[in-house]
């Protein structure tokens, strides 16, 4: 059993150039650039409420994954197996790709509430999990742990968005933001090890910025469905391109101002969240890209 869970020496003989391209594409679905594009575009074009719930779920499971990695300090497979250099010196257990993909795609299927959404979601999640094995950056134990924690996160999250937590959903927006800020030092001091959470703490910045924008949009912007789908799609792609292309220059600007990597990442993530949920919806509304939402 120990060999089965940790030995991935069987993977390299299975590799081909075509499969490597395929699994690299699948593994991209677990990296920040994908979320930088998918979450805002889903918010702008599909369903702002659904993608807010999805964004919060991804943040929760992402923070939990980073916490558990630093708690377990479990090494990844030997470096000679790795085809994905982006993992750096991070730990292996649990697999973040497996955990986030399981939580994200199953939650999307749950939100869609159509029978076909479940096999599609499961196929994508399984594909992302297999990509981590194929690329040699996780073993079977890492992936299985990620899947199980992702499933547990979805089950717990169903309760958090239910009427059992109506007191939170109906709370004063400023109180909500204050709570989001207040839990961050608690998480910081509870973090395993002496170095703290590092750049993964930027997820809290994203949560603060996203939720701040949601509050602004809900009370003053209230954007709705697109007026013209072609115009809305073009505008959304352009707005997402601004995010992707502007990420590095803005990060360098913040670092050049003397901020630490962690502080710059937190502020940058907060800006991205607010940009996605308030600034772009405001521009869409005044530009008549979208209709006003029903009161």
pLDDT digits (tens, 9 = 90+) for 156-207: 999 999 999 999 989 999 999 999 999 999 999 999 977 778 878 999 999 9
Do residue 194 and residue 165 come from a single domain? Answer: no
Do residue 133 and residue 188 come from a single domain? Answer: no
Rounded to two decimals, the pTM is 0.95
Count of domains forming the chain:
2
Rounded Cα distance between 225 and 229, Å, is: 9
Distances in Å between the Cα of 78 and the Cα atoms of 105, 110, 132 are: 29, 37, 14
Do residue 158 and residue 201 come from a single domain? Answer: no
CB 206 within 8 A of CB 272: yes
Last residue of a domain, one of 138, 170, 202: 170
Last residue of a domain, one of 170, 200, 224: 170
Do residue 195 and residue 166 come from a single domain? Answer: no
Which range marks the domain in which residue 257 is found?
177-295
Rounded Cα distance between 62 and 66, Å, is: 6
If we measure between CA atoms, which residue out of 233, 228, 240 comes closest to residue 280? 240
Q: What is the pLDDT of residues 245-293, one digit of tens each?
A: 999 999 999 999 999 999 999 999 999 999 999 999 999 999 988 888 7
Determine whether 2 is exposed, middle or buried from the number of CB atoms within 10 Å of its CB (0-12, 13-18, 19+): exposed
Do residue 154 and residue 277 come from a single domain? Answer: no
Do residue 165 and residue 213 come from a single domain? Answer: no
Last residue of a domain, one of 135, 153, 170: 170
Rounded Cα distance between 255 and 261, Å, is: 7
Do residue 152 and residue 206 come from a single domain? Answer: no
Instruction: State which of 91-95, 169-173, 208-212, 261-265 shows the largest mean pLDDT.
Output: 208-212
Percent of the chain with pLDDT over 90: 85
């Amino acid at each position: 059993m120990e060999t089965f869970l940790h030995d991935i020496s069987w993977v390299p003989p299975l590799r081909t150039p075509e499969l490597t391209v395929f699994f690299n594409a699948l593994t991209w679905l677990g990296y920040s650039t994908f979320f930088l594009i998918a979450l805002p575009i889903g918010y702008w074009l599909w369903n702002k409420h659904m993608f807010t719930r999805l964004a919060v779920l991804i943040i929760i499971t992402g923070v939990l994954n980073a916490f558990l990695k630093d708690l377990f300090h479990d090494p990844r497979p030997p470096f000679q197996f790795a085809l994905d250099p982006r993992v750096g010196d991070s730990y292996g257990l649990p697999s973040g790709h497996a955990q986030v993909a399981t939580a994200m795609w199953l939650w999307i299927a749950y939100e869609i509430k159509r029978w076909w959404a479940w096999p599609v979601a499961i196929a994508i999640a399984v594909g992302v999990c297999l990509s981590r094995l194929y690329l040699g950056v996780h073993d079977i134990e890492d992936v299985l742990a990620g899947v199980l924690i992702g499933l547990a996160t979805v089950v717990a999250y169903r309760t958090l968005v239910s009427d059992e937590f109506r007191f939170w959903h109906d709370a004063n927006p400023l109180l909500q933001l204050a709570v989001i800020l207040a839990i961050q030092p608690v998480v910081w001091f509870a973090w395993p090890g002496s170095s703290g959470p590092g750049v993964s703490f930027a997820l809290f910045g994203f949560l603060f910025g996203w939720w701040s924008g949601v509050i602004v949009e809900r009370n003053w912007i209230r954007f709705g469905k697109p007026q013209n789908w072609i115009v809305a799609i073009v505008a959304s792609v352009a707005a997402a391109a601004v995010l992707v292309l502007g990420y590095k220059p803005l990060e360098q600007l913040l670092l050049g101002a003397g901020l630490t990597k962690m502080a710059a990442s937190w502020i940058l993530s907060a800006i991205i969240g607010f940009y996605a949920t308030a600034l772009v919806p405001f521009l869409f509304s005044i530009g008549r890209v979208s209709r006003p939402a029903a009161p």
